[in-house]
Amino acid sequence: MTDASGTTTYSYDSMDRLTTKATPEGTLSYTYDAAGNLASMSSNHTNGVSATYSYDDLNRLTSVVDANLAGAGTTTYTYDTASNLGTVTYPNGIHTGFAYDQLNRVSTAVSQVAGYSYQRGPTGNLANVVELNGRTVNWTYDGINRLTSESISSDPTKNNGSVSYGLDPVGNRTSASASLNGIPSGNWSFNADDEVSSESYDANGNVIASGGKSFAYDSQNHLISMNGGAVQILYDGDGNRVAKSANGIVTRYLVDDLNPTGYAQVVEELSGAGVVERQYTYGLQRINQNQPINNTWTVSFYGYDGGGSVRQLTNAAGTVTDTYVYDAFGNSLQTGNQTPNVYLYRGEQFDSDLGLYYLRARYYNPITGRFMGRDPLGWNPLSTGSVHRYLYGLGDPVNGSDPSGASDTTVGNFPIPGDPAPTSPDYGPLRPTGAVE
């Protein structure tokens, strides 16, 4: 495959399984077990990704070994009798256990450093969560399950408050009244195409001007630059983001699409010269990042809440080094973390230069709760909410998410290895599809 990023070549075994993927960013090699499950993944780079995978008799992922970690770099998974994810144990000793209701929806997720207990309303929507530190969040919805308010109390950092939303009949946010620090109040209007009146759009419905920033797109509606080229982004022929230039610094991304999460993921970030600057290991979700800090390779393990958002990083000793808090739409409610990390809300990549989340097919703006372009899959007649082509999570970011940028799914779901991306409803079941955090 030859594209704007260069030439990518592929090799396959006798069963037509991919064994090598040689890209301009690097080469990934794969092996498989007797059942056809992914057994290993490695790159050709020094300090690059190197992971091996094991499965049980039901082909559920049971362990991931990260060869880059000193000592026992093994993450393990167990399952209950209904095949819900039961436990996740990291190499640093952080152990998370899960409990479920009778409909196999997660009710608690508890580790040594964090915990989340969920309650649901009569329609099955999440009504509140009580965290281990006492922080409590409540949500309300309208008659067609769109988020109308969020309130936070008992926050240890005192960032308590609420935000309520006014919506028009199709779900556009017409008003917001907020008392939470960092969350703006305001009023908005829209045209017949559900475009925000204060923003500018191109003929394909992509946002080209918003919040004092300008954006440009290619013929495939990929966002390729901001502010006349101050930020430039490059994609491969599969639509994966493989390079970015910002403030004179080039970052390249080695992307894998065979990992157990079910989505294309960055396994290495490299300098413009091709030197690995950050490496990621994946199981049912992103397990850890490894990067040089003060000239020493340093691992950080990701801790998640029940919605898949990164809430803390722990070091090799299991000590919390960084914590994160968000509103329902992914706006950060906490600053001051020290460890470089770009994976935040819903475990997805936040581009601080753009101020947007990269969700593969599209970019998401947490301030507006909308995508920067129309849904590339168009209107889905099976979903009343998807008639709107800009809304994130069909207007309900608490119970819905969109990792692909093109298909709403339920938060907390992780795929069975080898299965397509999950779409099951009601925030679960967390089977080998698994986990919240």
Q: How far apart are CA 187 and CA 178, in angstroms?
A: 12
Question: What's the pLDDT at 419?
Answer: 38
Q: Which portions of the chain are predicted below pLDDT 50? A: 384, 412-437
The pTM score is 0.93
**Domain map (residue ranges) of the chain:** 2-410
Q: What is the pLDDT of residue 436?
A: 32
Query: Tokens 């020094």 belong to which residue?
Result: 46
Radius of gyration of the chain (CA): 21
**Which residues neighbour 297 within 8 Å (Cβ) at sequence distance 6 or greater?**
47, 68, 290, 291
| pLDDT for 244 | 99
Q: What is the pLDDT of residue 422?
A: 38
Of the candidates 343, 337, 329, the one whose C-alpha atom is nearest the C-alpha of residue 397 is 329
Helix, strand or coil for residue 394?
helix
Query: Which pLDDT score, from 0 to 100, does residue 411 have?
Result: 63
pLDDT at position 415: 36
Using CA atoms, how far apart are residues 52 and 31, in angstroms rounded to an integer? 9
Q: Which of 402, 388, 317, 410 is nearest to 104 (CA)?
A: 410
pLDDT on residue 429: 31
**Average pLDDT of the chain to the nearest whole number:** 92
Please report the pLDDT score of residue 335 as a whole number. 78
Q: What is the pLDDT of residue 379?
A: 62
pLDDT in tens, 354-389: 999 999 999 999 999 999 999 998 765 555 455 689
DSSP structure class, residue 238: T
Strand partners, 177: 164
pLDDT attached to residue 437: 28
Contact 303, 297 (CB under 8 A): no
Q: Which fold has domain 2-410?
A: RHS repeat-associated core (2.180.10)
* C-beta separation of 222 from 235 below 8 A: yes
Of the chain, the end-to-end C-alpha distance in Å amounts to 37
> Would you state the pLDDT for residue 421?
41
Our CA angle for 419, 330, 91, nearest 5°, is 55
